[in-house]
Amino acid sequence: MDEEKRIKKNHIETIQFLVNKIGKKYWLPLYLYLKEHPKLLKTFSGFLLYNEKVVFYLGKTHLAIEYFGNERVDKLKESFETSFLLHDYSLIENDFFDEIIGFSYDSSSDSFKPPLPLFLEDLIVPTNRGFDKLAELNWNFDAQNAIYFFNSNGISILKGQFGRIINGLFFDADEKGLKTRHIKWIDFIPLQYDDSGEGHDFFSINFGYYDKLVEQDAHFVYPLPSLDDFKFSKLPQVNRFIELTGNSRTSEPEITKFLEQKENKFILTMGFLAKEIHGQLKCEWQSEKRDPIIPDFFVVRPNGFADIVEFKLPDLDGRPVVGKNNRETLSAKFNSYISQTRNYKTYFEDPNNRKWMLEKYGVKVQKPKRILVIGRRWDFATDEWREIISDYRDIDIMTFDDLVDGVVAQFYM
């Protein structure tokens, strides 16, 4: 049965409506079923009930629901903390699916856009740019037990049909390197959209699809790397990192200290495709009197030269973009972060500093890429952000989700 809702400029009411309807139709019945069948908890997809965040994407033909969180839970909980976010893409002309994953497909085959079936598990869809970069990195395509879409224009979400993607990997690339988007679980629920009303838009959604999915999803075993694979043993560390960065009380030093630990350094080596990691190196100026710089990490690439990685908090203090009416710009705090990394650039422009660095630490640095890890993916989902940050060619902004996705993607190689 369709449920109708009026969309207002304030998204809070819409989120409350969606949470209420899905909770009654899906989350509560799922919880009760697991309570009756506790043995299923060992393999249950934990993030469906105990998630870090649920993100709703509202389009013209579908409501998409994406889950973030750990794949496994050890027990049912009576209560837990989560958060919800709504992105309204109902008024944009860009492709709905491209907006969700964060980049556009570049195929020369304009007509080929595979339709999303009812269920699609273990999916890999690179753009042509992403495919070329994966090949350059010697990514082993034969090692993947997955469904590939090559030379496609993305994925077509069929009007009037329910669709689901489980464990989808999407790749793109630009001059700064490989981009990875991992979707653990996303549902596409058909809706009817009416924007003819004055001042308000209406949509109706059929939540009845969930009636037949509760028992099926309780029994579903989420795909994880093989128990015999050493990579499986790394998942707990990745989950600890996710938990650490998901805690608003976590400080920047706690994040860098965690990553410096021997058992956790793989997050940096895999996330940045590095062969060596050097943390908290004190770099003294050789040609002038200035305070030393101490970048969080130097990541040494396969070519032997190091780039610089600086970590900030995953929880942004305010919006990264301020202003309106075609006057949007980066916030003062965000500009201060970029200025800090610009100081690193200045340091390594001096050949005396580079020579001292090599002699002191054995680290070669030449025009290092500066990578700022900050915030969560949903903090930077606006077109304004993408347009503004495109002007900053010499710095790469990466979210904590981007870092984790880049690591997890290699677990399935």
Q: Chain-wide mean pLDDT for the chain? A: 86
Digit-coded pLDDT (tens) for 45-83: 999 999 989 999 999 999 999 999 888 888 888 877 788
Q: Domains of the chain, with CATH numbers?
A: 2-223 (no CATH), 232-411 (3.40.1350)
Whether pLDDT at 304 is above 50: yes
Instruction: Provide the pLDDT for residue 57.
Output: 95
Name the least confident of 182-196, 217-231, 294-308.
217-231
C-alpha dihedral (180, 184, 190, 191), degrees to nearest 10 = -80
Q: Do residues 365 and 348 lie in contact, with contact meaning Cβ atoms separated by under 8 Å?
A: yes
From the number of C-beta atoms within 10 Å of its C-beta (0-12, 13-18, 19+), residue 409 rates as: buried
- pLDDT band at residue 372, thresholds of 50, 70 and 90? very high
Q: What is the CA radius of gyration of the chain?
A: 23
pTM for the model stands at: 0.74
Instruction: Provide, rounded to the nearest whole percent, the portion of the chain with pLDDT above 90.
Output: 49
The pLDDT of residue 9: 46
Percent of all residues in the chain with a pLDDT value above 70, rounded to a whole number: 88
- In tens, the pLDDT along 95-153 reads 999 999 988 887 555 557 889 999 999 999 999 998 888 888 777 676 667 888 888 88
Query: Among 5-19, 148-162, 177-191, 353-367, which is the least confidently predicted range?
Result: 5-19
Cα separation, 54 vs 69, whole angstroms: 9
